[in-house]
Amino acid sequence: MSEEKKSLNFIEQIIEDDLANGLTKDKLRFRFPPEPNGYLHIGHAASICLNFGLGLRYNAPVNLRFDDTNPAKEEQEYVDSIKYDVQWLGFKWDKELYSSDYFQQLYDWAVQMIKDNKAYVDNQSSEQMALQKGTPTEPGTDSPNRNSTVEENLALFAKMKNCELEEGSHVLRAKIDMKHVNMHMRDPIMYRILKRHHHRTGNDWCIYPMYDWTHGESDYLEQISHSICTLEFKSHRDLYDWYVDQVYDFSKLRPKQREFARRNLSYTVMSKRKLLQLVEEKIVSGWDDPRMPTISGLRRRGYTPESIRTFSETAGISKRDNVTDVALLEYCIKDDLNKTAPRVMAVLNPIKLVITNYPEDKEEWLTAENNQEDESAGSRKVPFSREIYIEKEDFKEEANKKFFRLSIGKEVRLKNAYIIKGESVVKDENGEITEIHCTYDTDSLSGSGTEASQRKVKGTLHWVSIKHAVKAEVRLYDRLFTEEAPDSQKDKDFKDFLNPDSLKIIAAFVEPSLKEANILDRFQFQRLGYFCVDKDTTKTHLVFNRTVPLRDSWTKMSG
């Protein structure tokens, strides 16, 4: 097997360099650290694929660590959905861990820091502290509490911990440097009082550690070698390192934070805040609305885990701002489904077609391939009869020669069935066509091997037998926004760019084999697109979501 040299992304490069400089491979360990305060989206998928991909590449463990230090926002529901999504994407974590597992250790270390005169309790208001913090261009000033004695601080911190003080009245701060050029180093808050029930620790604590104080120490405790996060944490790195310094034992591995650019997708928004807004304002039906860029939304839309992994891999990572074309994501799912999705026939915009020379009471069950790309997919039977539905768009009374479909006097193939010829139309009083009358070539049955069956006709239409057709609700989804980057337009709200046509619900007819379909089953509706069975489906009511339409070079050139 020829070893094709795959280029490394910059994170892999860093790891290779570390390995070359003496870090041993067995020390490699990664983590994916979501906060359980919302649902995962395609941007998280990039991080998941990166971290777990690294684990696979280096045969190293990857922990799933919930960063649950803010009980005001976090819920078990989110923990469950995140676990489900990560495993659905196809990854296995080494350990399921929680930042809250380390609350006691963190507390003990904080006490030690107070003893070392490296932390102090501040009783100022957040407004006062903000004022003293300075600005990026002006240094801050010291808090009047900065020089409290160790004893005073210890006593106050104990009171904080014992729930004897009011929420918001006191915080523990690291004593670093109020004039530091990095705002994050100006005596950052380590603990705040929060009398909240925590989804795991219950009411054990009424002080909760802040992100910065928690994250690096958690990485250190888990001996994570490379702690990978997004770019907006770059300026936190100084603090991350400072905190690790406070507890670092030289015999242990020292974790390293590195940052990459978050993945943005065109025609959608990715921030949790905005996604939450879409849900709360009922612009979408929920976190798993098939138009949402959430993992659960994509799943319900019909995306496969494989396609999302391929997308992440193909898009790659770097450190520059990006808006990846959603067309790449769509390519990934079409490419996957083309190989795997069974082909079926469904008519979305039906018009009746009568084959006048086909016996009225006759019906045939014809053989149809399930997937031309995959012989092992086998075949099924589809019923054929005198009256069928075809798409309205597939007929025109008078044809221009580029129109490969049905018109009066012209022949087309009915997929898996016969060649038919347009003869006449029936119209209502408004001149609207209500029926198309055709004749069929009795010797032209697909696969029969006759000379007539091998005639080349320019067009092939899909169809369903009216007598056997099954009614189905079909939800046609389109992009949620009309702008590539809806949230980066100056002076405009992202909701100004909502696409009014992002969802169209239609009544369609599908072939009877689909009655057996299960929720989340994916199909190609031939000549139309990929569709999956929605969870709203019941025994008597089929609902399909359109995942993505097929490429359509006809409407492109004609329209």
**Binding residues for RNA restricted to 330-359, rule: CB under 7 A:** 331, 334-335, 338, 343
Under the binding rule (CB under 7 A), the answer on residue 370 touching RNA is no
Site for RNA in 405-464 (CB under 7 A): 405, 413, 415-416, 444-447, 453-454, 456, 459-460, 462
Which residues from 95-124 bind RNA, rule CB under 7 A? 124
Strand 419-427 with 464-465, pairing: unpaired
Min dist CB 470 to RNA, Å, is: 20
Query: What tokens does 7 get?
Result: 């280029």
Task: Please identify which of the residues 29, 175, 256, 272 carries the catalytic annotation.
Answer: 272
Side-chain-side CA neighbours of residue 165 (13 Å): 20
The pair phi, psi for residue 109, each rounded to 5°, is -65, -40
How far, in Å, CA of 410 to CA of 436, rounded? 13
Q: Is 467 one of the binding residues for RNA (CB under 7 A)?
A: no
User: Quick one: 339 or 541, whose CB is closer to RNA?
Assistant: 339
Within a 10 A sphere around the Cβ of 434, how many other Cβ atoms? 11
Q: Which of 177, 241, 325, 473 forms a contact with RNA (CB under 7 A)?
A: 325
3-state SS track over 517-557: CCCCCEEEECCCEEEEECCCCCCCCEEEEEEEECCCHHHHH
How many helices (H) and strands (E) are present in the chain, helices listed first?
A: 13, 25
The interface region with RNA, picked from 54-62, 349-357, 498-506, 522-530 by CB under 7 A, is 522-530
The SS3 of residue 316 is: coil
| Identified binder of RNA from the candidate list 371, 385, 482, 499, rule CB under 7 A | 371
Minimum CB–partner distance for residue 56 and RNA (Å): 18
Question: Nearer to RNA by C-beta: 215 or 299?
Answer: 215
DSSP 8-state secondary structure symbol assigned to residue 263: P
What interhelical angle do 103-115 and 211-222 show, nearest 10? 110
Contacts of 223 (CB under 8 A, 6+ apart): 27, 29, 252, 253, 255
Q: In the set 29, 522, 527, 546, which binds RNA (CB under 7 A)? A: 527
- Is 411 labeled as catalytic in the residue annotation? no
Instruction: Give 120-164 as a DSSP string.
Output: EEE-S-HHHHHHHT-BTTB-----TTTT--HHHHHHHHHHHHTT-
**Whose structure tokens read 């529901």?**
77
130 binds RNA (CB under 7 A): yes
Residue with Cβ nearer RNA (133 or 200): 133
Q: Is 516 labeled as catalytic in the residue annotation?
A: no
Task: Kindly provide the b/e burial profile for residues 480-512, where b requires at least 16 CB atoms within 10 angstroms of the residue's own CB.
Answer: bbebbbbbeeeeeebeebbeeebbeeeebbbbe
Between helices 103-115 and 237-247, what is the axis angle to 10°?
A: 80
Task: Give the interface size with RNA as a residue count (CB under 7 A).
Answer: 95
Q: Which of 29, 256, 262, 299 is catalytic?
A: 262
* Matching residue, tokens 């996604």: 275
Q: Which of 112, 147, 149, 318 binds RNA (CB under 7 A)?
A: 318
Tell me whether residue 539 is exposed, middle or buried, using C-beta atoms within 10 angstroms of its C-beta: 0 to 12, 13 to 18, 19 or more: exposed
**Binding to RNA by residue 4, rule CB under 7 A?**
no
Smallest distance from RNA to CB 100, Å: 11
Site for RNA in 283-302 (CB under 7 A): none
Judge whether 273 counts as a catalytic residue. Answer: no
Select from 151-159, 296-304, 308-316, 435-443 the region that touches RNA (CB under 7 A). 308-316
Q: Looking at beta carbons only, is 95 or 535 nearer to RNA? A: 95
Per-residue x/- marks for RNA, 478-497, CB under 7 A? Answer: ----------x---------
The residue from 23, 129, 433, 470 that contacts RNA (CB under 7 A) is: 129
> Could you say which of 14, 155, 328, 470 contacts RNA (CB under 7 A)?
328
Among 221, 276, 323, 470, binds RNA (CB under 7 A): 323
Strand-pairing partners, residue 433, are 427
Residue of 95, 252, 319, 492 that binds RNA (CB under 7 A): 319
| 145 makes contact with RNA (CB under 7 A) | no
Closest distance to RNA from the beta carbon of 261 (Å): 6
Going by C-alpha positions, the residue among 511, 394, 402 that lies closest to residue 460 is 394
Does residue 72 belong to the site contacting RNA (CB under 7 A)? yes
Instruction: Report CA 322 to chain centroid distance, whole Å.
Output: 17
Contact present, 187 and 173 (Cβ < 8 Å): yes
Is 163 one of the binding residues for RNA (CB under 7 A)? no
Q: Across-strand partners of 461?
A: 414
- When binding is defined by CB under 7 A, the residue of 8, 158, 506, 519 that contacts RNA is 8
502 counts as binding RNA under rule CB under 7 A:
no
Angle at 76 between CA 75 and CA 82, to 5 degrees: 100
> What residues from 254 to 283 belong to the interface with RNA (CB under 7 A)?
261, 266
450: its two tokens: 């006759």
21 sits near RNA (criterion: CB under 7 A): no
Q: Which CB sits closer to RNA, 112 or 488?
A: 488
* From candidates 87, 372, 424, 434, binder to RNA by CB under 7 A: 372
Contacts (CB under 7 A) with RNA, residues 381-410: 402-405
Q: Considering only residues 191-250, where is the footprint of RNA by CB under 7 A? A: 192-194, 208, 210-211, 215, 231-236
Determine how β-strand 387-391 pairs with β-strand 30-32.
unpaired
Whether 314 contacts 329, CB under 8 Å: no
Task: Decide whether 173 or 386 has the Cβ nearer to RNA.
Answer: 173
Which phi and psi (to 5°) does residue 445 adopt?
Answer: -55, 135
Active site residues: 35, 262, 272
